């Protein structure tokens, strides 16, 4: 029911003496986890409402897993929000095909679009129609704990190849330190390894070709190699005990408490590991990162990156003020502030200069130099194939399937799509 989005207090306020807003714009997003992000949104909302007193902005938050599970049903109901967070990719394309989104091309003229990086506009465009507003980019990197690695004689900056990384894991484990912390319960953190390795072995073009069913689809040698390389890591038993029962947020906190040496995650992890640690401060200056290792004989460019281009999609029948608010929220000034606070990698043109955290700025530089940026595979491939890929990665991690079976599992999901 749409009234649920207003909340009891808001509804009573409208009935009695509260302000009579002409519009309520309801936004659904994922839980931020990054320190300061909620306050940032709250301040932006207050500023917009002050300039537009007839509009009420309401943000609702869900954790990643619940968001992905509940959104498809919600979008088909009368309770759909006016706009919602998106990782773009194949899932977005499916939503556009389902007819639950609004074409906002006419509300975003060339001057409005020029505010954003072209890749951001392209990521929110499907079949020539613009359905959303870009918010930020995200890049996955291999984070490490400087202090722990110093005890193991491992120089993280010397890790260039996958074999180098496997060697480092062996040394860390031999020193009695957990090599890798992993939130396996949510599955998608495991799939970051599988997905990045697929990007290295197959390349972005190879992934796109597989998604089209070419060369055997996902049941081809490059994806088997990606699974095989991941299995090499799994066979070293590098993860903390009970990793499959550990959520991403709990795992981030463990890493922030110095319970492991490496963690593969997006740039947002800088804030997440601090927020979820016991101290609330995380590793501080002991946290740093290296690019994901290269692989021998891979078809992907060594400088290709893996991550997201995220933003907001507008639903059909959205309140008229929805796009106006989202343009305000993602204005260059607001993105500069978000970058300054370390909340995200801004996607507005020339906003990267605001990034003060050297690690966040460094990941941004990797994205800027990348010939290609591969979207998270569970989003790029659509809901069903993405879920199958996450499952396959998790089953490799638990030793339940072989790399060949994982590739076949993903391909079977693609054929049934």
Residue 15 located in a structural domain = no
Strand segments, DSSP code E, in 279-336 are: 287-290, 305-314
| CATH classification at residue 409 | 3.40.190.10
Task: Identify the band that residue 313 occupies on the pLDDT scale cut at 50, 70 and 90.
Answer: very high
Q: Cα torsion for 276, 279, 280, 283, to the nearest 10°? A: -80
Q: Which of 367, 382, 145 is nearest to 266 (CA)?
A: 367
Q: Which of 380, 344, 352, 348 is nearest to 368 (CA)?
A: 352
Pair (320, 231) in one structural domain = no
- pLDDT reading at 6 higher than 60: no
**243 near 178, Cβ under 8 Å?**
no
What whole-number distance in Å separates Cα of residue 309 and Cα of residue 358? 21
Pair (143, 132) in one structural domain = no
Q: Give Rg (Cα) of the chain.
A: 22
Pair (412, 281) in one structural domain = yes
Which residues lie below 8 Å from residue 342, measured CB to CB, with a gap of 6+? 34, 36, 270, 271, 355, 356, 357, 360
- As for how many domains the chain has, the answer is 2
Residue 16 located in a structural domain = no
pLDDT (tens digit per residue) in 333-389:
898 888 888 888 887 766 667 788 999 989 988 988 899 999 999 999 999 999 999
Euclidean distance between the first and the last CA atom of the chain, given in angstroms as a whole number: 30
Unique residue bearing structure tokens 């990521």: 123
Residue 245 located in a structural domain = yes
Pair (125, 53) in one structural domain = yes
Pair (146, 108) in one structural domain = no
Boundaries of domain holding 339 = 23-137+308-370
Pair (297, 388) in one structural domain = yes
Q: What is the pLDDT of residue 15?
A: 34
pLDDT (tens digit per residue) in 16-66:
334 555 799 999 999 887 778 899 999 999 999 999 999 999 999 998 889
What is the H or E stretch that residue 375 is in? Answer: strand 373-375
What whole-number distance in Å separates Cα of residue 350 and Cα of residue 17? 45
Pair (143, 178) in one structural domain = yes
Token pair belonging to 276: 């979820």
Task: Identify the band that residue 12 occupies on the pLDDT scale cut at 50, 70 and 90.
Answer: very low
Residue 7 located in a structural domain = no
What whole-number distance in Å separates Cα of residue 15 and Cα of residue 214? 59
Angle between the N-to-C axes of helices 322-329 and 37-51, in degrees from 0 to 180, rounded to the nearest 10: 130
Q: What is the pLDDT of residue 237?
A: 98
What whole-number distance in Å separates Cα of residue 79 and Cα of residue 68? 16
Pair (235, 356) in one structural domain = no
Pair (67, 119) in one structural domain = yes
The pTM of the full predicted model, rounded to 2 decimals, is: 0.87
């Amino acid at each position: 029911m749409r009234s649920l989005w207003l909340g009891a207090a808001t509804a009573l306020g409208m009935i009695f003496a509260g302000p009579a807003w002409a519009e309520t714009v309801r936004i659904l997003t994922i839980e931020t986890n990054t320190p300061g992000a909620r306050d940032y949104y709250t301040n932006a909302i207050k500023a917009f409402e002050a300039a537009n007193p007839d509009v009420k902005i309401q943000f609702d938050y869900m954790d990643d897993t619940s968001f992905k599970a509940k959104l498809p049903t919600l979008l088909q109901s009368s309770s759909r929000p006016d706009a919602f967070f998106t990782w773009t990719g194949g899932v977005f394309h499916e939503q556009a095909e389902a007819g639950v989104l609004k074409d906002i091309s006419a509300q975003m003229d060339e001057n409005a679009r020029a505010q954003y990086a072209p890749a951001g506009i392209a990521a929110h465009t499907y079949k020539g129609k613009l359905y959303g507003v870009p918010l930020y980019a995200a890049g996955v990197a291999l984070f490490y704990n400087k202090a722990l690695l110093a005890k193991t004689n491992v120089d993280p900056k010397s890790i260039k190849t996958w074999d180098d990384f496997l060697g480092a894991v062996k040394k860390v484990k031999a020193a009695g330190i957990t090599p890798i912390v992993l939130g396996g319960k949510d599955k998608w953190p495991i799939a970051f390894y599988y997905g990045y390795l697929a990007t290295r072995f197959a390349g972005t073009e190879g992934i796109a070709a597989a998604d089209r069913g070419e060369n055997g689809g996902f049941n081809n040698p490059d994806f088997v190699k990606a699974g095989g390389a991941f299995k090499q890591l799994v066979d070293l038993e590098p993860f903390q005990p009970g990793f499959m029962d550990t959520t991403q947020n709990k795992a981030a906190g463990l890493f922030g408490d110095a319970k492991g040496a490496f963690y593969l995650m997006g740039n947002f992890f800088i804030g997440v590991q601090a927020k979820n640690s016991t101290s609330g401060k995380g590793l501080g200056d002991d946290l740093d990162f290296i690019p994901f290792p290269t692989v021998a004989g891979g078809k992907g460019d060594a400088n290709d990156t893996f991550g997201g281009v995220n933003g907001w999609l507008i639903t059909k029948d959205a309140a008229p003020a929805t796009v106006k608010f989202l343009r305000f929220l993602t204005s260059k000034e607001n993105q500069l502030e978000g970058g300054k606070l370390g909340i995200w990698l801004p996607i507005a043109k020339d906003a990267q200069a605001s990034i003060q955290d050297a690690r966040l700025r460094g990941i941004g530089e990797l994205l800027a130099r990348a010939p290609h940026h591969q979207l998270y595979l569970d989003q790029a491939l659509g809901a069903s194939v993405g879920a199958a890929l996450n499952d396959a990665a998790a089953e490799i991690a638990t030793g339940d399937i072989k790399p060949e079976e994982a590739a076949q599992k993903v391909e079977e999901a693609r054929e049934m799509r």
